[in-house]
Amino acid sequence: MTDITREELTTIPNFKLNNLILEDISTLSTVNGIMTRSLIRTKYIDHNPGILLLAFPKQFCFGLSKKYAFGKDRTPENWTGDYQVCYSATSNKTIEQHTPEEQSVFDLCNTLEEELANYIFENKETLGGLYEKVATSAEAARNLVKPILYVPKKDEGDGKKMKKVVNKEKPCTLYIDVLRSKKTNTFKSRLFGPGDVEIKPLSKIEDVMGNIEPVIFFSHIHFDPKGTASFKLKLWEGNFTQSESFGPRRRLIGKNTDLAPQESASHESDDDEMKAMTRAVKSNPILNEKSDPVADLGDCSDGGAEEKKPIIQKKKVLRKKVVEE
């Protein structure tokens, strides 16, 4: 068994394909069902296997962002509970003509994808299903491998017939999951800011643009029941520097002369306002004793109006009883 406590960093130029190990296919029970996978390992300098940790060049990223269910709106109920970092493989200026360092990232990803295609072809009987049907050769198995780098696309057409085409104005990106314990809400990925000060990811770089120099943990290959295989990447650690702002600017308008909330005698605080509303509701004999003033207000969401309907109906019924008496 591989000792995952051993950590040895490999740079992309020093990565050797013959050191890569894709372990035997195994299954794991998860909350979402059975997962089929192959753990990724590499030979360390002592020739013993260890986890694959690859250092990637410094590039732009959008900071820490939430992961949402695939194909669904970016709304709270569709949040998976996980976070990720979106790493740009090139700068905006080098999208079409990569630097040697950037090209090494593309070459690495292509090499790993070809190796996975060979692995699928060699293990097609074990994988079965669509893998066995499609992987008649290593070249054919390549169609089952999800690209490591995401190629941005955009809609193009006359409005009637739209199609997805490659967006050459945006760089290819790499989506890296953040190591995090959902039970304790703690991050295992470590990030260091200027001055080599460790950063708390959630409070410091959520949706903050900057440059990141990541160490990526190539965890395992995931074999989807639908017949696609993908590399699962985790952010092990990295250096992060927030992008500079526009800098200080001259004030263009005069001072805001309105009183601060705590100085205004004419406005109650949110707390006092809610207490006053609660007292009003409790003192109204028409309302049900179990009526919840917060529920009456709704939650400012689309369903807020629907939540108020049952309460309104109760009021009408109670009024009718009072008349009959």
Model pLDDT, residue 316: 41
Q: Which residue bears the tokens 């199609």?
A: 163
Residue 250: pLDDT band with limits 50, 70, 90: low
Q: Taking Cα atoms as reference points, which of 191, 151, 193 lies closest to residue 174? A: 151
The more confident residue out of 323 and 240 is 240
Whether the pTM exceeds 0.75: the reply is: no
* Residue 159 pLDDT > 60: yes
% of the chain surpassing 70 pLDDT: 74
Helix or strand (DSSP H, E) at 140: helix 138-141
Residue 270: pLDDT band with limits 50, 70, 90: very low
The more confident residue out of 221 and 185 is 221
Least confident residue range of 59-73, 142-156, 227-241: 59-73
E-strand stretches of the chain:
9-11, 20-22, 26-30, 33-43, 49-55, 59-68, 79-88, 153-157, 162-166, 173-178, 180-181, 186-187, 190-193, 197-199, 210-224, 228-242
Q: Which of 181-185, 208-212, 244-248, 287-291 has the highest mean pLDDT?
A: 208-212
Cα–Cα distance for residue pair 308/298, rounded to 1 Å: 7
Angstrom CA distances, 24 to 68, 127, 278, stand at 31, 11, 63
The more confident residue out of 298 and 15 is 15
* Residue 164 pLDDT > 60: yes
The more confident residue out of 121 and 301 is 121
Model pLDDT, residue 172: 95
For the stretch 119-147, pLDDT in tens is 999 999 999 999 999 999 999 999 999 99
* Residue 198 pLDDT > 50: yes
Instruction: Give me the DSSP letters along 23-75.
Output: PPPEEEEETTEEEEEEEEEEE-TTS-EEEEEEE---EEEEEEEEEE-TTS-SS
* Residue 218 pLDDT > 90: yes
Q: What is the mean pLDDT of residues 62-82?
A: 84
